[in-house]
A and B are shown apart, each in its own frame.
Chain A
């Protein structure tokens, strides 16, 4: 089933908070929903489909539908970590195309910073019933050291350098300086990144994304609804999703599920990487971006280091402007899940509503990509091709 022109993104909203000391998790979800509906020019009574993931409190979608007073005929709480919301946009478009709902609301919110969570450096456990945990928890895997192993292997196989990875942070910081809400607005250099404290070899502090509170929401609507609204329309032209894991012990840390989700998205959209004017790429760490760009086909495998160097990801400078809001590396990473903000900035670019200093000229085709879980060992990759209508 093709979803092209069957559904449109008509509303987006990014919560301005970066530390939500006095806002509850449920309230954050409701505030981003309220913001996205206002952006679209709709009220909550128009919503008949709701999408959320593991960050929602209580019974998830049921608790939030109760809290917000939603009357639903479609619900989808697909949980694929930080990529969930990229998946949700595709699922919402499919649900709308299938007649399951008319207006879909997708929300994300979280407050790891207010809760003092050591997001990246504290060993995480998903509980003893998770079958992988007994074979991993004794060895203290953290978010950062697992991504670090992917970076280490990439350097070993392809000669990728810390300086090349640093260029990704440099590009993000060049964009973030124009975003008044960004947590890190200071422009950094390659020397700043490689000179920052080593967290887990070879990833430095500035190779890591920020820890922030906040959230975001997206409204997807069927064409009749979208055309009745005053906002610019963005269509979901193509989408792909895939899961990559350890393959029973045949571990390969050098590629991600984007190797499959990317081609699926490009094929369904009928376009190629060369057609993309702007890309939102999930940037939990610099290495996440580099490997993803290779897997999506923006450059051959192993040449990501060369591709990202010398400002190639900086808007107005390079060939592939990325994460013009500053991304997770500089702007925010609400709930430790970056997929939502990737969709939102891509929509801003397609509407011509990005900051003028980073707005890509004639931006009519954009890509948004999410990576959820742990890079290369257990994650979902989700790719969207979005088009200005």
Chain B
């Protein structure tokens, strides 16, 4: 588990996203995938936002990806890094980059998931350079 330097707002699971957060508690990152168009999407939905099919299933992600974009929120105390990371499975997700030198980050850099405790909820997927 990574050290959080600020209070992490707890995600509120919903009926359709419950399995994502239950897996998160076990350190597994799930991606919803459509069995009709065979494409993954994020955040997870029961009906595929890409093709409209209601045939979707959970798949476990490798937890590896690359930085699509990021920004160091210098104005915050303490500063933190928001990012979009593109997973190997092909979807991009909003996250934070942690346990790293903020000034050495670059777009395209390989990263891996680290689970970070939230404030009274399930752990959330953050990423660190791999």
Residues of A within 8 A of B (CB): 121, 123, 125, 128, 131-142, 144-146, 148-153, 156, 197-203, 246-251, 253
For chain B, residues 58 to 100, give those with C-beta under 8 angstroms from any C-beta of chain A.
68-76, 80, 82-84, 86, 90-96
Please tell me which one of the listed residues A137, A145, A197, A249 contacts residue B73 in the complex, with CB atoms under 8 A apart.
Answer: A145
| Contact across chains for B70 and A149 when beta carbons are under 8 A apart | yes
| Contact across chains for A142 and B96 when beta carbons are under 8 A apart | no
User: For the complex, what is the distance from the CA of A249 to the CA of B13, rounded to whole Å?
Assistant: 19
Collect the chain B residues with CB atoms within 8 Å of residue A134's CB: 11-14, 17, 43
Q: Does B6 contact A (CB under 8 A)?
A: yes
| Contact across chains for A249 and B42 when beta carbons are under 8 A apart | yes
User: For the complex, what is the distance from the CA of A150 to the CA of B94, rounded to whole Å?
Assistant: 13
Count how many chain B residues have C-beta atoms less than 8 Å from C-beta atoms of the other chain: 45
| Contact across chains for A140 and B69 when beta carbons are under 8 A apart | no
Collect the chain A residues with CB atoms within 8 Å of residue B23's CB: none
| Contact across chains for A141 and B43 when beta carbons are under 8 A apart | no
Shortest C-beta distance, A197 to chain B (Å), equals 8
16 additional A-B pairs beyond A131-B14, A248-B48, beta carbons within 8 Å, are: A128-B12, A131-B43, A139-B126, A140-B9, A150-B69, A152-B107, A153-B69, A197-B74, A200-B73, A201-B72, A203-B71, A248-B39, A248-B42, A248-B49, A249-B42, A251-B84
| Residue on A nearest B31 in the bound complex, by CB | A249
User: For the complex, what is the distance from the CA of A201 to the CA of B72, rounded to whole Å?
Assistant: 5
Collect the chain A residues with CB atoms within 8 Å of residue B71's CB: 145, 148-149, 151-152, 200-203
Q: Does B10 contact A (CB under 8 A)?
A: yes
State whether A149 and B84 are in contact (beta carbons under 8 Å apart), knowing that A137-B9, A248-B41, A248-B50 are contacts in the complex: yes
| Contact across chains for B11 and A199 when beta carbons are under 8 A apart | no
| Residue on B nearest A148 in the bound complex, by CB | B71
Residues of B within 8 A of A (CB): 6, 8-14, 17, 39-43, 45, 48-50, 68-76, 80, 82-84, 86, 90-96, 107-108, 116, 118, 124, 126
| Contact across chains for B72 and A200 when beta carbons are under 8 A apart | yes
User: For the complex, what is the distance from the CA of A140 to the CA of B74, rounded to whole Å?
Assistant: 13
Collect the chain B residues with CB atoms within 8 Å of residue A151's CB: 71
**Nearest 4 CB-CB pairings of A with B:** A249-B91, A134-B11, A148-B71, A248-B41
State whether A139 and B94 are in contact (beta carbons under 8 Å apart), knowing that A145-B82, A149-B70 are contacts in the complex: yes
Collect the chain B residues with CB atoms within 8 Å of residue A135's CB: 11, 42-43, 93-94
Shortest C-beta distance, A6 to chain B (Å), equals 36
Collect the chain A residues with CB atoms within 8 Å of residue B93's CB: 135, 249
Q: 13 A-B pairs, CB-CB below 8 angstroms?
A: A121-B73, A134-B14, A138-B116, A146-B82, A151-B71, A152-B71, A156-B69, A201-B74, A248-B48, A248-B50, A249-B91, A253-B69, A253-B84
Collect the chain A residues with CB atoms within 8 Å of residue B39's CB: 248
| Contact across chains for A250 and B9 when beta carbons are under 8 A apart | no
Please tell me which one of the listed residues B10, B91, B94, B107 contacts residue A250 in the complex, with CB atoms under 8 A apart.
Answer: B91
User: For the complex, what is the distance from the CA of A136 to the CA of B12, rounded to whole Å?
Assistant: 11
Collect the chain B residues with CB atoms within 8 Å of residue A153's CB: 68-69, 107
| Contact across chains for B70 and A140 when beta carbons are under 8 A apart | no
| Contact across chains for B70 and A121 when beta carbons are under 8 A apart | no
| Contact across chains for B91 and A140 when beta carbons are under 8 A apart | no
Collect the chain A residues with CB atoms within 8 Å of residue B72's CB: 200-201
| Contact across chains for A198 and B42 when beta carbons are under 8 A apart | no
User: For the complex, what is the distance from the CA of A131 to the CA of B42, rounded to whole Å?
Assistant: 11
Shortest C-beta distance, A134 to chain B (Å), equals 4
